[in-house]
Amino acid sequence: MKNRGYIGILFFILIGITPFALSFGYALLYSFGVIGVANSGFTLEFWKAVFESGEFVKSLFYSIAIALVSTVISVSLALWFTLAFEKKLRGRILSFVIYLPLAIPGIVASFFTVQVLSKAGFFSRLFNKIGITSGISDFPDLINDPYAIGITLVFISVVMPFFLLLFLNVYQNERVAELAELSRSLGASERQTIWRVSLPVLIKKTWTLIALYFIFLLGAYEIPLILGEESPQMLSVLIVRELKQFDLSKISEGYVVAVIYTVIVSIATILLFSNRKSQDIHE
């Protein structure tokens, strides 16, 4: 029995941990010039180049800003819909319809956004038809734009439906309706009930997932690849671009960014986990 346990853990290490460790080790060695076709030995040159160019820092803050704005708007909208339409959303048809956005992957959402929000897209045509714009150039840049409007809109459209379903689930499991009723009967106003009872319960139960979704958005690839600008680029797009460079010295710089990104995400995971553990203990 004990041997079987060891075999199970061995498989876990082999499939679950080894690929991650191997890929991180390879990226780390490449970033320091220890391995790689054009590299000749240990150097800090690529790390220096990455920080001096400023592109990575710009990309990091750009990614954080987009992920943060998208997460905040998605969570806020989902909370509002949950509290405003909790009963209606459990109706026969609506309870099916609100699941449908989960059937749309990021690449399809991006394709659809190009079709409706580009300068020759559906809304541009509609506005032209009803006389709001007089041509293709009058329609604003909503995709591949400097403010990442297209990326943010798609992130919201992908993430918000998930949070809505999540909050509806928690609303029912944690019996928020009964708690709200109790607080009202004890004399709390509608505003107090929402801010002091319903919202704290919903957020406390889901904040780990909210944080995880922020991290997922930080590393999103296909959506910013299709809807983003040439510069700045979101982290994953920047990493893949650098790794596919014809200039071999740039590949090492790509691995530097990959290593930093992996470290940031790993630290975030450890922090989330340790916080969750202490929360579990307190509960």
Partner 1 sequence: MSKLKSIALWAYVVAIMFPFFFLLLLSLSSDWRYPALLPEYFGLKNWVQVVGTESGLAYSFFISLVISLSVAVTATLSGFFISRYVSYHKKKGLLTMLTYFPYILAPVVFGACLSYYFLRIGIFGTTAGVIIAQFIIAFPYALIFFSSFWNEKIKNYENLVSTLGGNRWTTFTKVLLPMAKGLMMVCFFQTFLISWFEYGLTSIIGVGKVQTLTIKVFLFIKEANFYYGAMSCCLLIIPPVVLIYINKRFVFNKLI
Residue ranges in 68-107 that form contacts with partner 1 under rule CB under 8 A: 81, 84-85, 88, 94, 96-107
Residue whose CB is less far from partner 1, 48 or 88 = 88
Residue whose CB is less far from partner 1, 54 or 91 = 91
Interface with partner 1, residue 132, by CB under 8 A: no
Contact 265, 41 (CB under 8 A): no
Contact 46, 33 (CB under 8 A): yes
214 SS3 class: helix
CB of 105 to partner 1, least distance (A): 4
CB of 258 to partner 1, least distance (A): 5
113's CB contacts (< 8 A; 6+ apart) are 143, 150, 153, 154, 227
Residue whose CB is less far from partner 1, 97 or 248 = 97
Cα 36 to chain centroid distance, Å, stands at 31
Distance in angstroms (rounded) separating the CA atoms of residues 206 and 267: 20
Q: Which of 125, 141, 149, 174 binds partner 1 (CB under 8 A)?
A: 125
CB of 43 to partner 1, least distance (A): 19
Residue whose CB is less far from partner 1, 133 or 183 = 133
Residue whose CB is less far from partner 1, 47 or 112 = 112
Closest CA to 63 of 260, 208, 209, 224: 224
> Which residues in the 249-278 window bind partner 1 by CB under 8 A?
254-255, 258, 261-262, 265-266, 268-270, 273, 277
Interface with partner 1, residue 57, by CB under 8 A: no
Distance in angstroms (rounded) separating the CA atoms of residues 250 and 46: 8
Greatest alpha-carbon pair distance for the chain in Å reads: 77
Q: Give the contact letters, 195-224, x = binds to partner 1 (CB under 8 A), - = no.
A: -------------xx--x--xx--xxxx--
Interface with partner 1, residue 161, by CB under 8 A: yes
Contact 73, 163 (CB under 8 A): no
| φ, ψ at 100 (rounded to 5°) | -60, -35
Closest CA to 195 of 80, 74, 78: 80
Interface with partner 1, residue 282, by CB under 8 A: no
